[in-house]
Amino acid sequence: MPSFTTYYGPSTVITEQGVWVTDGTRRICIFYTYTPATGILKYAACVYRCRSCVNLSDGPRLWYAEPTTQQMEAHSQTAGRRFEMRPVIFQSNPNMSYEEIIKTIRHEMCHGFGVKGPRGMRKLFYGEDSDGSGGADSDGYSSGDIVSEGSELEFLTDSEPVEDSEFDWEKVYSKPTRQIRYIGTTSVETYEGKKIPVDREFFIAMKGVKKTGELIYAAAISRRPSHMGALDDDAAREHFKTAVARLEKAPVAMVVSDEYRHQLKSNAPHREDVTYEIIDSIMSKPGGRYLIKV
């Protein structure tokens, strides 16, 4: 076989659809397009968290179940829909290797834009036309429109405001309670007088109506040093009890975005986008406090 050397040209565009990345107990489905000459990177992703299992046949042994074909297809569809509707678009380094592209996307997912862009990103980046043709220069983008840190563009929840008079509380309360556990990204914070990496685990109890997107939730939050790892099952159960009690007494009301209401179905393969909207609501911190109950 002859040996070939490939390299980037001025019009090279690299794109992958539905590529999967293993990261610890997470399996990440990514859609992206990268232009080496300019460094413009566009992506969207969906994260599957492997379920922990215990094998007792030859002694207790913890392992993690890989996603099924159906789960992979569902996550791929979500990532693809995000890529079409709300991709992250930003200026990265030019002429990156394949490994550098994937690492850059993963870094932005954890410490930057997340798994999808804010509403209006395509219009802000490309111009007036949603297809990316209007308002852009000959390279397909306008360098003056690149979103930078500190942008006033809203990155928090896209859920709609709720008026008590319009919210069907009886209908929502009739739905089954579902529990969601979310582990946030690590941040360096002051903990007992020291600056150390700290993790937060969110324990959420929620009820939602698929047709209208009406949802109520309450939550409990665990904050502990990263080196201690996730809470054990007994501690997690206690936090879920707290969340359920708050859901019964002082729930927060919100309305899920239209495009994610299907995730409120009883048999939905995942509820990742609903989870992110709830987390965004919690992190909105009205009055400076986490919105975990009213």
Question: Residue 234: how many CB atoms within 10 A of its CB?
Answer: 7
List of long-range contacts for 232-236, beta carbons under 8 Å, 24+ apart: 236/181, 236/201, 236/203
Q: Which amino acid is at 239?
A: H
The answer to whether 18 and 79 are in contact (CB under 8 A) is yes
> Do 113 and 200 lie in a common domain?
no
Domain that holds residue 57: 14-145
**Domain count of the fold of the chain:** 2
Is 7 within the bounds of a domain?
no
Looking at residue 166, its pLDDT comes to 66
The DSSP code for 88 is E
Last residue of a domain, one of 145, 173, 194: 145
Q: Which of 147-156, 232-241, 242-251 has the lowest mean pLDDT?
A: 147-156
The encoded tokens of residue 274 equal: 């609903």
Is 293 within the bounds of a domain?
no
Return the percent helix, strand and coil in the chain, to nearest 5: 30, 30, 40
Phi, psi of 222 (to 5 degrees): -105, 130
> Do 31 and 136 lie in a common domain?
yes
Task: Tally DSSP H helices, then E strands, for the chain.
Answer: 6, 11
- In Å, the largest CA–CA distance within the chain is 73
> Do 128 and 200 lie in a common domain?
no
Q: Counting Cβ atoms within 10 Å, is residue 244 exposed (0-12), middle (13-18) or buried (19+)?
A: middle
Mean pLDDT over residues 12-21, rounded? 96
User: Does the pLDDT at position 148 exceed 50?
Assistant: no
**pLDDT 10s digits, 261-294:** 999 998 888 888 899 899 989 988 888 889 999 8
Pick 108 or 52 by higher pLDDT: 108
User: Does the pLDDT at position 151 exceed 70?
Assistant: no
Mean pLDDT over residues 183-193, rounded? 84
Is 9 within the bounds of a domain?
no
Is 59 within the bounds of a domain?
yes
> Do 179 and 259 lie in a common domain?
yes
Is 219 within the bounds of a domain?
yes
Mean pLDDT over residues 173-198, rounded? 88
Pick 139 or 81 by higher pLDDT: 81
Rounded to 10 degrees, the C-alpha dihedral 290/214/79/198 comes to: 10
- Hey, which residues does 246 pair with through a beta bridge? none
CA distance 220 to 66: 28
> Do 234 and 175 lie in a common domain?
yes
Q: Token pair 């006033």 is at which residue?
A: 152
Q: Which of 1-5, 154-158, 194-198 has the lowest mean pLDDT?
A: 154-158
Cβ-Cβ contacts under 8 Å for 71 (sequence gap 6 or more) = 48, 269, 270
CA distance 263 to 254: 15
Instruction: Among 86-90, 98-102, 134-138, name the most confident range.
Output: 98-102
> Do 95 and 140 lie in a common domain?
yes
Looking at residue 64, its pLDDT comes to 76
Looking at residue 23, its pLDDT comes to 87
